[in-house]
Structure 1
Amino acid sequence: MKQLILSSALLALTAGGALAQDVVRMGTEGAYPPYNFINDAGEVDGYDRDVGDAVCEKAGLTCEWVTTDWDSIIPNLQSGNFDTIIAGMSITDERREVIDFTQNYLPPLASAYATMEPDTDLDSAVVAAQVGTIQASHVAESGATLLEFATPDEAVAAVRNGEADAVFADKDFLVPIVEESNGEFSWLGEDVALGGGLGIGLRKSDTELKAKLDEALTALKEDGTLNTMAKEWFGETAPQF
C-alpha cells in the first residue's frame, strides 16, 4: 500500500507522550478508498477507520481522527500534530528508519498496473504513481519512467490525458476504476506484492502506546474481527490472518 520515505533528519522532530493526553489522535489521508475516504456525512470512513475505531475500543483509548495530505503525513506525526498514522501505509524498512510500526493490521495486498493501451510495454512505459509510495519506488527501480503525483486520482488522470502510459497503485484502489470505465482501462502485466502489510505508524518514542495498540491488534486477530472487516471492505478474496 502507500508509503513515504523521508530523511532520517526527521528523527529530530519527535514528540512523545501520546498516552499522557486525554485523546489519541489518529492521522489519515481521507482520500484513498477503500482504505480511507471522506463519506457523504463529511466523516472519515473506510477500512482504516473501522480498524482504528476497533483498536481504540479494545485498548480502552479515546481517539479522534485527523486528516492531512499524504506527502506531509509523516512530518505531521513527527511534529506532534497527531499520534498515529493509520492511512493504508505499508510497513517498509525505509520507513522504519524514521518511525515505528505496530504489527500489521492487513497482510500484504497486490499492487497492479492499469492502462488505456493494452499493448504498452512496461519496460519502456511512462508510469504514473502517487508520490512517496512503495509503488513509486517499485516503478523507479523497474527501469520504466516514473511520473509522481500528489494524489492517486491525479496519477489516474495522467493516464486519461496521455501524460502516462499506465498507472501503478494498490489493486483494490484501481478495481472500481477499471471495472467502471466501460473498457477504457484494462489491467497490464501481473500483480505485484509489495511491502509487509499495513501497519499503524507511531513516533519511536511512543513505546507505551505501541504496546497497547499491538495488544489490541493481537486480540482483534484472534477473535476474527480483522478478517471480517477485511472481507467487508475488500471482498471474499481478501487476505486473512
Structure 2
Amino acid sequence: GEADGWDTDVAKALAEDMGVKPEFVDNSWDGIIPALQADKFDVIIAAMTNTKKRSLAINFTYPYYMAANAFIFRSSDAARFPTLDKFNSPTLKVSVLIQDAAHLALQRFFSKAQVVDFNSAEEAILAVQTKKVDCSIAEFSFLGQYAKEHQGLTVKAVDYPGAGSPLAMGLVSGPENEHLKTFLNVWIQHFFWSGQHEPIFKKWFPGASVPKIEKFIAPL
C-alpha cells in the first residue's frame, strides 16, 4: 500500500520545503543501508537510530525524534508483567526486528531474556499473537497503533532513563553529500523551531507530549 506514518509525513514536509516530489522506496530493513549505498534512494527517513555501528557505514543528521521503546504482549498474559523487571527473565522469549536499535535496550536492561530476530516488525508481533514468543519489543508509538488495530494486545513502555533511541536521517558518507547534510540539519532545526512538527506529531502520537525543541537543535 501507500507509505504512511510519522516518518512519511516528515519526509513529505521536507520534500515540500525543497520543492520536489517525494518518491518512497520499499526496502527490507536488513538491506536498507546497502541499498542507500547502492544509490537506490537519496536518504533514509525510516525510524532509524543513529548507532555507533551504523555511523561507521553512513552519515547521520541531527535527530528528528526521540523514540521510546516498549513491549507488546497478549492481554491475557498481563498478570505476568506487572513491572518491567519481569521482562528480564531467562525463560522469556522476546521477538525483535533484526538489527533494530531495540536490541540495545534488551542488552542493557533485559539481558537475561531470549531474543528471537525477525525480518519485519509485523512478523515479530505476529509471533506474539501466535504464541511463538512471549512478547515483542519495538518503538512505542508503532506498537500503540498496532494494538489499537488488533484486539487482545497490551503495550508497556520501557520508561527507564536512557532507554530511548534518537532517530535520524541517514545519507551516504562523502564530500558530495556535505551540503545535503547541512541543509537537512538546518531543516530539522526549523521544523521544530517553527512548530511545523506539531500537527504531524499530534496526528500520529495523540495524547503524547510534544517533544521539547532542545532535544533536536544539536547532535547528541
Shorter-chain TM-score above 0.5:
yes
2:42 aligned residue:
83
Cα separation, 1, equivalents of 2:39 and 2:150: 41
- The structure-2 alpha-carbon separation of the partners of 1:135 and 1:69, relative to structure 1 and needing over 3 Å to count, comes to same
Residue of structure 2 equivalent to 1:103: 62
Q: Aligned to 1:113, what secondary structure does the other structure show?
A: strand
Letter in 2 for 1:230: F
The separation in 2 between residues aligned to 1:93 and 1:44, in whole angstroms, is 28
Question: For residues 186 and 65 of structure 1, what CA distance do their matches in structure 2 show?
Answer: 31
Pairing of 1:1-241 with structure 2 (within 5 A): 38=1, 43-61=2-20, 63-106=22-65, 108-116=66-74, 117-118=77-78, 119=80, 121-124=86-89, 125-141=92-108, 142-182=111-151, 184-188=152-156, 190-192=158-160, 193-196=163-166, 198-205=167-174, 206-240=177-211, 241=213
Query: Residues of 2 paired with 1:144 and 1:102: CA distance?
Result: 33
Higher strand proportion:
1
Question: In structure 1, the residue corresponding to 2:25 is in which secondary structure?
Answer: strand
Counterpart of 2:124, as a letter, is: A
Paired amino acid for 2:6: Y
Q: Which amino acid aligns with 1:111?
A: N
Q: Please, which runs of 5 or more residues in structure 1 have no aligned partner? A: 1-37
Which amino acid in the other structure matches residue 114 of structure 1? Answer: I
Query: What is the rounded CA distance, in whole Å, between the counterparts of 2:190 and 2:155 in structure 1?
Result: 37
Determine if contact 1:230/1:238 at 8 Å carries over to the other structure.
no
Hey, what's the Cα distance between the residues in 2 that align with 1:189 and 1:54?
28
Q: Distance in 2 between matches of 1:187 and 1:54?
A: 30
Cα drift, residue 158 of structure 1: 0.9
Deviations 1:108-163 (A, max 9, x none): 12211122222153122110111110113432452210001011111111112221
**What is the aligned residue count?**
197
Q: TM-score when scaled to structure 1? A: 0.74
Verify the 8 A CA contact 1:105 1:226 in the aligned structure 2.
no
Task: Output the aligned Cα RMSD.
Answer: 2.1
> Which structure 2 residue ranges, 5 or more long, are not aligned?
214-220
Q: Which amino acid aligns with 1:200?
A: M
